[in-house]
Structure 1
Amino acid sequence: MTGAPDNGQGIDSERALKSAVRRTCGDRVQIIEGIIQPGAPTWDHEHTARVVRRQIEDRVDELGCVEGSGNLDLPGSSNWYVPDIAVVPEALARGAGALLPDQTLLVVEVTSESNAETDRAVKRRRYAEYRAPLYLLVDRIEGSVTLFSEPGHLGYTRVDGPHPFGAVLRLPDPFGLDLDTSGLASA
C-alpha cells in the first residue's frame, strides 16, 4: 500500500498529518479512523501486557526479534497505531520510526474500558487488511484471549478463541509456545 497522493504542491497530506499529530501529541498517540487518541494506559493494563511479554520474551530473543510498543503506520489510511506489544525482527526495528503491520510477527492489543470495541473490531479488521500475521486480543473486559491469524482483505480467516482467562493458548510458528493466561485473571 502506498501513501496518500501528492496534493499538487509536492506535499503528501497523509504523511504531513500523521507527522504533525505525533509532534504535537507525543509518541503514545494513535490515529484511529481519523480520530486522534492519546494513550495513557493504566497500571492494570500495563500489568496485563507484562504477563504476555514475559512469556514470549525468550522466544522473541531466539527469533532475533524485539518486542515493544513501537509505532505502526497504515499507509493509505488515516490510521497510526501504537499496539500494546508488537514483535518485529531486530534488523527492522533498528532506526525505524514506524513499521507496517505486515513487518510484525505478532501484534497484541489489551483492551481497556475506553478502547475495547476499537480493539475488537476496528483494529482487528485493519490489522488483517495490512497483513499482520498474528493478532492477539487480550480482552480484560470479557476476561478472554483470542488469536486471529491468516489475514485477508475481508478479515482474519482463522480465529482461535475466545478462551477464558486461565486457559492455555497455543501461539503458532514461528513462536511455537503455549501462552498461560492464568496470570491475566488478576490483572
Structure 2
Amino acid sequence: MSSQPHSGPAGHSYVADDPETALKFAIQHMRGDRVQLVEGVIDQVPPTWDHEDVADRVREQIRPALRVLGCIAGSGNLDLPGSDNWYVPDLAVVPRELAKGARALLPDQTLLVVEVTSESNGDTDRIVKRRRYAEYGAPLYLLVDRQERSCTLYAEPGELGYQVVDGPHPFGTPLRLPEPFGLDLDTTEF
C-alpha cells in the first residue's frame, strides 16, 4: 500500500501505510448509525430504544460520581491499536480532559465500559469484547445481558482476561460498582 497521503470525506487525510490505519480511517468516516470494527468485521450498531434505555439508566445512576470524578459518560470511539478493532461501547466513562478533542480513546483510559447485549451481538459482548477490553486494560467492564437477564462486572484486567468476576446477577439484584464509583447499581429496570 502507498504511504502517500490520501484525501477522505470532508477533506480529512491520512497516510495509508498499513491496512489497520486505512480500515480504521474508513470506519470513522462512514455515514449512518454507529459503526464499529470487531475482529476485522465492520459492524453497524443501530441502537434500539430498549438498548438506549438501559445505557441511560446506568448513566443516570452514576451521574453524581461523574461530577465528583471530573468524568463524562458516553458512547465515544475506543481504539484498540495493533488490532482490527474499533469499538463504540454502549457507555464508557472517561476523564473529561481526555475527551476534549479526542476522536478516539483507548480502553485503559476509561474508568468503566458498559456493553448492553442485543440478540444480534450478545456473544460479541460476552466473549470477544470482554477478552479485548481486558487485554487493552479497561479497568471495569459491565456486561448487561438482556437475553440472560443478568449483569456481570469484570475487574482487574490482565493478559489472560479479567481476574475478578462479580456475577452474573439476575436483574433486580443490586450490583456494587467499586471505587472510584463506590455505589450500588439498581438493576431492577434493566
TM-score w.r.t. length of structure 2: 0.90
| TM-score normalised by length of structure 1 | 0.92
Matched letter for residue 100 of structure 2: R
Aligned to 2:30: 24
| Distance in 1 (alpha carbons) for counterparts of 2:167 and 2:141 | 12
Contact between 1:150 and 1:158, CA under 8 Å: does it hold in 2? yes
> Residue 138 of structure 1 is aligned with which of 127, 140, 144?
144
- Structure 1: 5+ residue stretches without partners: 1-6
| Structure 1 CA distance for aligned equivalents of residues 58 and 36 of structure 2 | 22
Match of 1:173 among 155, 173, 179: 179
What CA distance in whole angstroms lies between the structure 1 residues aligned with 2:36 and 2:3? Answer: 27
- The DSSP-based 3-state class of the residue aligned with 1:88 is strand
CA distance in 2, matches of 1:154, 1:60: 30
Shift of 1:14: 1.0
Q: 1:164 aligns with which of 149, 170, 173?
A: 170
Question: C-alpha deviations, 1:117-148, integer Å up to 9, x for none?
Answer: 00000000000000000000000000000000
The DSSP-based 3-state class of the residue aligned with 2:29 is helix
| 1:1-187 correspondence runs (5 A) | 9=3, 11-26=17-32, 28-184=34-190
Kept in 1: contact 2:89–2:115 (CA 8 A): yes
Root mean square deviation, CA, Å = 1.3
4+ runs of 1 displaced by more than 3 Å? 7-10
Matched residues in 2 for 1:43 and 1:66: separation?
21
Aligned mates of 2:28, 2:95 — CA distance in 1: 24
- Structure 2: stretches of 5+ with no match in the other structure: 5-16
- Structure 1 residues 27 and 15 mapped into 2: Cα distance closer, same or farther (>3 Å)? farther
Post-superposition CA distance 1:150-178 (Å, at most 9, x none): 00011001000000000001000110011
1:27, distance to aligned residue in structure 2 (A)? 6.5
Bigger shift: residues 146-155 or 19-28: 19-28
| Percent pairwise identity | 68
Please tell me the residue identity of whatever aligns with 2:98: L
For 2:30 and 2:111, the matched residues in 1 are separated by: 30
> Aligned partners of 1:25, 1:151: CA distance in 2, in Å?
33
**Is residue 153–residue 166 contact of structure 2 (8 Å, CA) maintained in 1?**
yes
| Structure-2 change in CA distance of 1:114 and 1:152 (3 Å) | same
How far does residue 9 in structure 1 lie from its aligned partner after superposition?
3.5
How many pairs are equivalent?
178
For residues 158 and 174 of structure 2, the distance between their equivalents in structure 1, rounded to whole angstroms, comes to 26
Question: CA shift at 1:24, angstroms?
Answer: 2.6
Q: 2:61 corresponds to which letter in structure 1? A: Q
